[in-house]
Amino acid sequence: MAQDPRPLQKIVIVGGGSAGWMTAAALSDAMGQSCDITLVESEAIGTVGVGEATIPPIRNFNQRIGIDEATFVKETAGSYKLGIQFVDWARLGHSYFHPFGQYGAEFDKVPFYHYWMRESLAGRIEGPIDDFSMCWAMAKAGKFAHPQADRRKIQSTFDYAYHFDAGLYAAFLRRLSEARGVTRIEGRVTDVAQRAEDGFIESVTLDNGEVVGGELFIDCSGFRGLLIEGTLEAGYENWQRWLPCDRAVAVPCAKQEDITPYTRSTAKSAGWQWRIPLQHRTGNGYVHCSEYISEDEATSVLMGSLDGEPQADPRTLRFVTGCRRKFWDKNCIAIGLSAGFMEPLESTSLHLIQYGILRLIALLPDSVMSPLLAQEYNRQTADEYERIRDFLILHYKATTRDDAELWRYCSAMEIPNSLQYKMDHFREYGMLVSDERELFANPSWIAVYLGQNIVPNRAPAITEMRKAVKVEERFGMIAKAMRSAVEEMPTHADFIARHCPSPLAI
């Protein structure tokens, strides 16, 4: 190993797709021309390419690497996303909305949702908490506009993300990265050379005989984990006992005139179905457990529930939900599907790529490659995967469905202590226990708890000590402000047509 620290001179990214080109774009932006960045990919291998729904942090990533929003949405045939509608999860015939934003508006020292729970438990308010979500008010009306910065206005209480074509996004980032000096090499990796003294990766050999050497290797090779697992055998944590779905069949269909500004997740007998509206098509998929349904049956269920003509043959993805025991091993860092797979229930795939990249930039090694950096990277990344894991498990555990084997299994299964602790607190007295590191903040937990009928025994005690607060009056004002704001907004389709229409949609 080098004794005198110096900046890295050569980084090799193995694999393209969203993970590879997001990494290339971010590293080339952060490093400028001071480091040689090479990306190796094979068009013959292809990519998963179904990560079409996102969560709000993607906006920060795009802004960080200098991407203009309107250009991005246009180039990726994208649409806007205000949250996720969950259908039939708690019970058949029931739905709720997970919004990207807060509920109501704060008007007192006590949070809005505390008052809402107090009033709901006392029977003084009817209807779901969704009624006080600006995101849901916009979504069900088919409206969209950017949030306002003025915190005094109800239009400041929501956030948004995107739906977009993952293949177009990767191509867009490739053009951006190559313009910044990233070198792309076409080829399939056939051999990996390691240093004899410590097992660090020295180079990869391609099917045409070309040898590509480097100091730091980023494994974006997908489920295979060509470097992190195939070479370094980092190991894998299997979480199927909590998240039993292990297949997804996906197919695009013709778009509908109404491009809804939200994702829909509909629970089925052996899993759930996604619906993601883009400008030029609608993405669909059935995530399911192979123990309870065959691939042919799952395909038949999906094809029979499309709301447009299919535009391709359905294809099946096989996966095991979990993550690597080491994300950074020696001089190799796994990003994307090579690092782990969290089923797409809450659209976290691109987020995990994004934060894997930003964490790498924050902990970027020099030529010494200190193992302390890898240790910290692995600690932070493992914690993030586990926190997201628990939020996903909550959707399956919190169900009263008993009409199918999958749901009976999920409602009865033991869950991680970390999730049980959170659920116990909420059930007992309506409090949310989390910290600032949570990807999904309090409104997200409230959405799933209440949406799936986890109702607290009582409201937080502080609400009973503030009897003088005119809660009913404030609730009325908030509801009126929401209705007025939504009425003034353009439709989602009109907003896209005005600011970012895709040529593919014509």
Global pTM value? 0.96
CB of 128 closer than 8 Å to CB of 450: yes
pLDDT tens sequence across 26-58 = 999 999 889 999 999 988 765 555 558 999 999
Is a pLDDT exceeding 60 seen at residue 2? no
Mean pLDDT of 72-92: 97
Mean pLDDT for the stretch of residues 258-270: 96
User: Which residue intervals of 158-213 are DSSP H helices?
Assistant: 166-179
Could you give the percent of the chain with pLDDT greater than 90? 91
Across 263-290, average pLDDT: 97
For residue 3, the model assigns a pLDDT of 64
Residues 472-494 pLDDT 10s:
999 999 999 999 999 999 999 99
Q: What confidence category does residue 189 fall into, taking pLDDT thresholds of 50, 70 and 90? A: very high
Q: Binning pLDDT at 50, 70 and 90, where does residue 272 land?
A: very high
Strands, E assignment, 254-368: 263-268, 271-277, 282-288, 315-318, 322-324, 328-329, 332-334, 340-341
pLDDT of residue 312: 94
How much is the CA Rg of the chain, to the nearest whole Å?
Answer: 24
- Structure tokens belonging to residue 210: 């070309």
pLDDT of 258: 84
* Cβ neighbours for 228, distance < 8 A, ≥ 6 positions apart: 219, 234, 324, 326, 327, 329, 332, 333, 334, 338, 339
Report the distance separating Cα 238 and Cα 415, nearest Å.
Answer: 14
Structure confidence at residue 1 (pLDDT): 44
Task: State pLDDT tens for residues 401-451.
Answer: 999 999 999 999 999 999 999 999 999 999 999 878 899 999 999 999 999
Mean pLDDT score across all residues of the chain: 95
Q: Give the model confidence (pLDDT) of 112-129 as tens digits.
A: 999 999 999 999 999 999
**Using alpha carbons only, what angle is made at residue 149 by residues 145 and 155, rounded to the nearest 5 degrees?**
45
Active-site residue list = 81
